[in-house]
Structure 1
Amino acid sequence: MDATAERPRRSFFAYASALLGLLSVFGVVCFHFPDLLTSREFRAVYNEDFARHLLLVGLVAAFILGTLAILRDRNKRIATVGVGSATLAVLLGGSNVQFDSIGETPYSLGLDWFVISLFFSALVFVPLERYLGKRRMSPLRRGWRTDIAYFFMSHVLVQFILILVTASTSMIAGLAAFPALKDAIQSLPVWAQFLIAVFVADMAQALLHRAYHNVPWLWRFHAVHHSSREMDWLAGSRIHFVEIVLTRSFVLLPLLVLGFSTPAVNAYVILVGLQAVLAHANIGVRFGWLEYLLVLPRYHHWHHARQQDYVDVNYAIHLPLIDMLMGTFKLPRDQAQWPEEYGVMKLETVPQGIVEQHLMPFRRKKTFDEFVD
């Protein structure tokens, strides 16, 4: 008998239970230490009742899905992690956990941002990719653990990223202030400011993005992002910490210099978060003429194609118009045509794992024995 036939298939219920159970534990811990583990900026987006109801949903789902997986004899160890984590969360207080008033601390982690963002992103995109995906692919595809680690890092360290970005842009923005231009821009309606901000920010991002691909020492950082061998909603999270700070600083700077209002900038930030996930998602819907107006999955997937003809194209993250102006627009007219393979051209140049990938740009070593595959 074929040995592979005896291996039990991965149970989505078991892994979903484990994820929800662990997120529930994180949620309860956030209630116990809100001043240290929750982001001040993100706390303004939700209230206590919302957080408690979301925690209750996570606990109930973790118990039900884990129990079903165990009864079906599918990935029982993983399912036990889910049920056990949910039980621990209940013992720590569950959805009725009490907490004192939130104190002031100079720094805090964005664990609440990680929990809520991961929960809703998975809730939306896992079903979408299941039923509208271009490829039949499990959410537990190769490299998913690495991408979850990147997702965790970028969300939990959100305040530190903001501090670094603010420090790198505020002084320059102050020195390059243009009061008359700022007044002219802020006199426009917020929706008009938003549209202009999208164009300006996307142009800045595309120029830096092209530099990532053409300047060798910058490519060492950006290669981490292109090392994903599968494309889905989680793949976009694989970004080196240095690149996160550089890109956000470079994009935010012109917005600050030109003086866009806070509501317009906030709206742009929301768009960035949504479109970055959507552009990498495994969604094979044919969007027709919209593909020439907005950056959608197929457009950005070709940028990630492991194909020589596409190594220097499609740098925009919002508007294909930017690539048209730069002369870097390229998209097959046949909407049924998608890349056959993703990843860097030389796989051996990027090692496996978030730690090794973060160290990689600073090492003289150019190839690795254990590389992305």
Structure 2
Amino acid sequence: MRHLYAPAFFFGFIGLALYLVDEGVSLLCLPALLPLAILLAFLAERLWPYRAGWNGSHDDGPRDLAHALVNETLNALAIAAIPVLVAWLPHFELWPVHWPLALQLLAALLIADLGITLVHYASHRSPLLWRLHAVHHSVARLYGFNGLMKHPLHQMLEALGGTLPLLLLGIPVEVAALLAFAIAVQLLLQHSNVDMRIGALRHVFAWAPLHRLHHLKYGTAGDVNFALFFSFWDRLLGTALYLPDYALAEDDLGIGDRPDYPVAYLDQLAEPFRHIDSAHPPAPLPMELRRLLVE
């Protein structure tokens, strides 16, 4: 099951969503599928945990729920606004509407993933963007649900980077809705606490064994594996990292020089706009991780 979990979860839920939409079922079926995906992710994390301690509460459950509800509501509103946006924005009607729905979704995934990845990469280079993105990196544990934990302003910037090219091409609403659902499924897998084994699939998909390294709290050690869906973008950026011999400790995550980062939801929304009077020293890099990074 550790080998089958990620591909079965990814292709199972996205395949089911594609089938339902292709059969003419209302797009409202997609938000109805998401709680099922979250429930199965929670169950798998308890059956095959990567770190058992990450399954326990860190007083972050209500906060993560608030982030998820706000951000998914914003996603739903953005999808509903697509006809208005397409009418308002200049668009070139180049979208291949004659393609099968699955191929249209694949094209949307590739285009959106490149845009989102570049915004993510820039968020680790620009101090202004980092202040917004730091909300996501403040997590002290990884479990599927906190993949939806983002500052809403940063989520909107990532969404703009990923969807503006699609809107200019004239993407249909149903493809955009499937894309939003696929992103939610992927975030559940990227941040999963399941001890999944993905083997050669790591060369294609940016699932948890790669993305966990992005959340390392040791300075720039986590400036790797930026891609949302496809790991080959990181190879092109020169930021790909895979450390099969390093087992993350339960306290390897977070922001090393901000151990006091606020935990409460409203405090996290306000934190990017506060002046920080003092900074903590960076968290020291563990010797084993230092050795592997040098090698």
- Counterpart in the other structure of 2:292: none
Radius of gyration: which is bigger? 1
Structure showing greater relative contact order (alpha-carbon pairs closer than 8 Å, 6 or more residues apart) = 2
Give the TM-score of the pair, scaled to structure 2.
Answer: 0.74
Unaligned runs of 5+ in 1: 1-41, 47-112
Name which of 177, 180, 193 aligns with 2:91: 177
Unaligned segments of structure 2, at least 5 residues: 1-25, 281-295
Counting only pairs closer than 5 Å after superposition, residues 159-238 of structure 1 correspond to structure 2 as 159-160=73-74, 162-163=76-77, 174-179=88-93, 181-182=94-95, 185-238=96-149
Q: Secondary structure at the match of 1:214?
A: coil
> Following TM superposition, by how much is the alpha carbon of 1:367 offset from its aligned partner in structure 2, in angstroms?
4.7
Counterpart residue number, 1:255: 166
Determine the structure 1 residue equivalent to 2:246.
337
* Equivalent in the alignment of 2:47: 131
Q: How many residues align?
A: 254
Residues 1:359 and 2:270 are matched in the alignment: yes
Distance of 2:83 and 2:133 partners within structure 1: 21
Mapped partners of 1:151, 1:159: distance in 2: 12
2:66 to 149, 152, 156: 152
Q: Deviations over 1:97-129 (max 9, x none)?
A: xxxxxxxxxxxxxxxx6x9855x3553123211
Deviation at 1:295, TM superposition (A): 1.3
| C-alpha distance 218-165 of structure 1, shift in aligned 2 (>3 A) | farther
Contact preservation (8 Å) 2:119, 2:157: no
Question: How do 1:1-373 residues align onto structure 2 when only pairs under 5 Å count?
Answer: 44-45=28-29, 117-118=34-35, 120-121=36-37, 123-137=39-53, 139-145=55-61, 148-155=62-69, 158-160=72-74, 162-163=76-77, 174-179=88-93, 181-182=94-95, 185-308=96-219, 310-332=221-243, 334=244, 336-340=245-249, 341-348=252-259, 350-367=261-278
- Tell me what 1:95 maps to: none
Distance in 2 of aligned mates of 1:126 and 1:165:
27
Assess if the C-alpha contact under 8 Å between 2:210 and 2:242 holds in 1: yes
In structure 1, give the amino acid aligned to 2:269.
H
State the alpha-carbon separation in 2 of the partners of residues 359 and 196 from structure 1. 36
Q: 1:156 to 1:324 in 2, by over 3 A?
A: closer
- Letter aligned with residue 352 of structure 1: V
Report how far residue 283 of structure 1 moved.
Answer: 1.4
CA distance in 2, matches of 1:230, 1:195: 31
CA gap 1:128/1:257 in 2 versus in 1, 3 angstroms: same
1:295–1:319 Cα contact (<8 Å) kept? yes
Q: TM (normalized to structure 1)? A: 0.60
Calculate percent identity across the aligned residue pairs.
Answer: 25
